[in-house]
Structure 1
Amino acid sequence: MGYLLGVILFALGIALTIALHEAGHMGVARLLGMRVRRYFIGFGPTVGQFTRGHTTYGLKAVPLGGFCDIAGMTANDPLTPEEEPLAMWRRPAWQRIAVLAGGVVMNIFVGLVLIYTVAVSAGIPDPDIDLTPTVDGTACVAPAQNPDGSLVPCSGEGPAAEAGITAGDRITAVDGRPMHTFIELRDTVMAKPGETVELTVERDGITREVAVTVAEATRIDAVGGEVTVGAIGVSRAPVGNVFRSYGPVEGIGASLRFAGLMFSGTVEGLKSFPAKIPGVAAAVFGEERAQDSPVSVVGATRIGGELAERSEWATFLMMLASLNFFLALFNVVPLPPLDGGHIAVVLWEKLRDAVRRLRGLPSAGPADYRGLMPLTYTVAALLLTVGMVVIAADVVNPIRLPG
């Protein structure tokens, strides 16, 4: 029952996210005196609609998208005589950009509200917590790993112990490169089997440099193959509770800072998105699916159901916040039919006309969007294809929460 409730609530959250995105466009357009003809959520057959004033509001059968139809968004848009003076393309560039960015701003605002809600209730990761790699203890390095995941027995001291590293030491850098977390230290050392590295170690407020020869070991990778990695034989000291709840006032600053971290992560996720699609496609045909692979609204809703089943409502809300940030950043990609593509056209018009003025020529007028239709259709088809692949993977080979 909890799972089904979570699925329903997360699906509603996605629909509301889309609705608010389109409401952002509509609100700014109306504020600036433009006419909004239609405001629809979803695509496919119309389930229901009603008209109020000059705007028709409606819901379509598949609530996974939406649109806000503003009179005269382009110069190719047919207009009635009444709409002609209200055409969006006639407005100054800053007004057109403000309308086009309205959905993005709305998603950012919604994401911030969700983070703030979690910050003053359950708590968010403390942005000031010190995650510097701290040694809990040292041990020998197991030379290999069994197929079941266990390590083969080993004896003696490991490289770290031989170099004099003890419990409580803080490893702040490797070969001069700062280490911010134990995971970063682990990954750095794993990439240097057999090499001698210089660790910057802090003990009792005193910093010193320690040379350590990284041991070579074999481990089982994600697909069951053996790989050679480096290890020095240290374990991580407990970090403690990384979550912190805030008061109503201090929660504002903490939420903004944490949102910045989420934004950075989302940007990195967008950069790596294309490279992960082949892996998602392979997962459709039975290959192991990476835990960090992209998910569709189907996969996200499934995960939302699992979170609700475990009563992890704070994580549930943070997923919705992340979704809003993703939608905001994805929409600023400068390709049609995304908002960023339309903004790019407006900026191109301004740049083009600035060059024409320098040449003593008049403005060339609004861009002819008909020339962009092949690109628009290509991008739309590509997005649809990728979306269907990810949905298929979420159906036949879904990502599940650990535990």
Structure 2
Amino acid sequence: MGFIVSLLVLSFLIFFHELGHFLAARLFGVKVERFSIGFGKVIAKKQIGETEWALSSIPLGGYVKMKGQDDTDPTKKSFDPDSYNSKKPWQRIIILFAGPFANFFLAFLLYFTIALMGSDTYAPVIGEVLPNSAAYEAGLKKGDKIIKIDDTPIRTWEDLSKAIKESRGTIKLVVERDGKVFNLELIPKISETKNIFGETVKRRMIGIAPSGDLVKVEYGFLESFKVAFERTVQAGKMIIVGIEKMIEGVVPLKEVGGVISIVDITAKASQIGIVALFSLTALISVNLGVLNLLPIPALDGGHIIFNLYEMITKRTPSEEVLYKLTLLGWFVLFMLMGLGIYNDINRLLGASNG
């Protein structure tokens, strides 16, 4: 069941991405010849208006084939009024950006839904106070609940960590202990810790660990907009930094995952619950949006670069150069896909041998 859910999630994400391209293309009067979920041989299709809606045999993506655009051969162009090539560069850029934007918008909707539904997270209750830490010296104890930091209400452990990290100098805490509320002050110490990429970083810490108690956090309708926007932006930043760390060599290439990992993780998330599934789907959606904006010729980002070049120079790129760069882009994409699948298989074999 989990496997089926994961495939449905992937198909939905692809559909939403391509729907963004489709709607923007139709907005500017571009004929869409085919809307396909998957690549390769068409196994099912239906003609609706001018567009053939298709399901193809390889469920690793999808595409919207617009009149005058052919990623396999960019030299094949049409300049009819309803062709992609007849549109102004800025219109083409909007059509190209609409796909990734649809992914970001979908992630926003999912995070918005999660905020309204409410989700369980760690409560700001102390489970451990480290010896000789700022918290120990200030008198904090196991079981204490942090209510405020510098007049900022604390609802979750994440709020607590963020407030300490972003604080300056002495911080004021409002603490609840055994039903009584009191105030205290302390100065966080600069300590070394590991970030999500395994790097050693220095940050302000007070030396406490969570108790593991959970609290359900729900937001109002208007507040959910802010939460959803912040989480979407945060997910995007995390993915961009992850790509930078991979280029720098901080994140090893063996950590690159492919479609097998996505299916496996999504299947597991679906078994945990709807909030976990929505959260993971939102993260994958942002990931698709960011990756499609990379300046690789075969991706939306590469096509956007070509159109920006045309806007600035007032001339189209050389067809020969465009063709060679597109072939290079496809080569890079297939190499990355191959690397992801290779790593996925190694992980599966390692798990089965273990």
TM-score by length of 2: 0.74
Considering only CA atoms, is the larger Rg found in Structure 1 or Structure 2?
Answer: 1
2:338 is the alignment partner of 1:376? no
Contact 1:125–1:244 (CA under 8 A) maintained in structure 2:
yes
Deviation at 1:339, TM superposition (A): 0.6
Separation (CA, whole Å) in 2 of partners of 1:162 and 1:77: 67
Separation (CA, whole Å) in 1 of partners of 2:234 and 2:102: 19
Correspondence for 2:13: 17
Correspondence for 2:299: 338
Deviation at 1:24, TM superposition (A): 1.2
Separation (CA, whole Å) in 2 of partners of 1:51 and 1:208: 68
Over the residues paired in the alignment, what is the CA RMSD in angstroms?
4.0
Matches within 5 A, 1:161-310: 164-167=137-140, 202=172, 207=185, 234-238=207-211, 241=214, 243-274=216-247, 279-281=252-254, 293-310=255-272
Contact 2:138–2:185 (CA under 8 A) maintained in structure 1:
no
Contact 2:43–2:54 (CA under 8 A) maintained in structure 1:
yes
Residue aligned with 1:334, SS? coil
Contact 2:121–2:217 (CA under 8 A) maintained in structure 1:
yes
Stretches of 4+ aligned residues off by more than 6 angstroms: 183-186
Correspondence for 1:102: 98
Separation (CA, whole Å) in 2 of partners of 1:247 and 1:183: 21
Matches within 5 A, 1:138-177: 138=129, 158-160=131-133, 164-167=137-140
- 1:190-219: CA deviation from partner (whole Å, max 9, x where unpaired): xxxxxxxxx95656656455889x9x9xxx
- 1:99-156: CA deviation from partner (whole Å, max 9, x where unpaired): 1111112111211122222222243769xx9x7xx976555xxxxxxxxxxxxxxxxx
User: What code does the residue aligned with 2:278 have?
Assistant: L
Deviation at 1:257, TM superposition (A): 2.5
User: What code does the residue aligned with 1:23 have?
Assistant: L
Residue aligned with 1:374, SS? helix
Q: 1:206 to 1:246 in 2, by over 3 A?
A: closer
Q: 1:211 to 1:123 in 2, by over 3 A?
A: closer
Residue aligned with 1:385, SS? helix
Percent identity over the alignment is 22
Correspondence for 1:286: none
Higher helix fraction: Structure 1 or Structure 2? 2
Contact 1:136–1:236 (CA under 8 A) maintained in structure 2:
yes
Q: 1:73 to 1:367 in 2, by over 3 A?
A: farther
Deviation at 1:72, TM superposition (A): 2.3
Correspondence for 1:392: 342
2:278 is the alignment partner of 1:324? no
User: What code does the residue aligned with 1:313 have?
Assistant: I
The one of 60, 63, 66 equivalent to 1:70 is 66
Q: 1:269 to 1:161 in 2, by over 3 A?
A: closer
User: What code does the residue aligned with 1:296 have?
Assistant: G
Contact 1:163–1:210 (CA under 8 A) maintained in structure 2:
no
2:95 is the alignment partner of 1:90? no
TM-score by length of 1: 0.66
Separation (CA, whole Å) in 1 of partners of 2:206 and 2:317: 63
User: What code does the residue aligned with 1:41 have?
Assistant: I
5+ residue gaps, structure 1, are 140-157, 173-178, 187-198, 217-231, 282-292, 354-363
Contact 1:32–1:95 (CA under 8 A) maintained in structure 2:
yes
Separation (CA, whole Å) in 1 of partners of 2:326 and 2:225: 39
- 1:257-277: CA deviation from partner (whole Å, max 9, x where unpaired): 222222222222232244569
User: What code does the residue aligned with 1:72 have?
Assistant: G
Deviation at 1:236, TM superposition (A): 2.1
Contact 1:35–1:86 (CA under 8 A) maintained in structure 2:
yes
Q: 1:84 to 1:163 in 2, by over 3 A?
A: closer
Contact 2:260–2:341 (CA under 8 A) maintained in structure 1:
yes
User: What code does the residue aligned with 1:326 have?
Assistant: N
- 1:57-86: CA deviation from partner (whole Å, max 9, x where unpaired): 22211111111111124883243xxx7222
Residue aligned with 2:329, SS? helix
Deviation at 1:343, TM superposition (A): 0.9
**Corresponding pairs, count:** 315
Q: 1:11 to 1:272 in 2, by over 3 A?
A: farther
Deviation at 1:352, TM superposition (A): 0.9
